[in-house]
């Protein structure tokens, strides 16, 4: 319901919890398991972030 996903980072393999940004929610952009996404990490808590873009397959 709150569009939170567990995202695995490419560089170091860490996992972060990330939620969809408002524009992605507004435009009904679907994110499915296995999709490659761009994530903005929070400077205060590096285990949380925001999904801002879904790359084409």
Task: List the CATH number of the domain containing 14.
Answer: 2.40.50.140
Percent of the chain with pLDDT over 70: 98
Domain that holds residue 34: 4-54
Asked if 38 contacts 53 with a C-beta cutoff of 8 angstroms, the reply is yes
Asked if 31 contacts 20 with a C-beta cutoff of 8 angstroms, the reply is yes
How far apart CA 1 and CA 46 sit, in angstroms, is: 23
Give me the number of domains the chain comprises.
1
Q: What is the pLDDT of residues 10-37, one digit of tens each?
A: 988 899 999 999 999 999 999 999 999 9
How far apart CA 19 and CA 50 sit, in angstroms, is: 5
What the block records as the tokens of 17 is: 């919890």
């Amino acid at each position: 319901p709150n569009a939170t996903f567990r995202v695995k980072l490419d560089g170091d393999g860490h996992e972060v919890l990330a939620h969809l940004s408002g524009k992605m929610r507004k435009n009904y952009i679907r994110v499915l398991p296995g999709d490659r996404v761009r994530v903005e990490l929070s400077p205060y808590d590096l285990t949380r972030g925001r999904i801002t873009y879904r790359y084409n397959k």
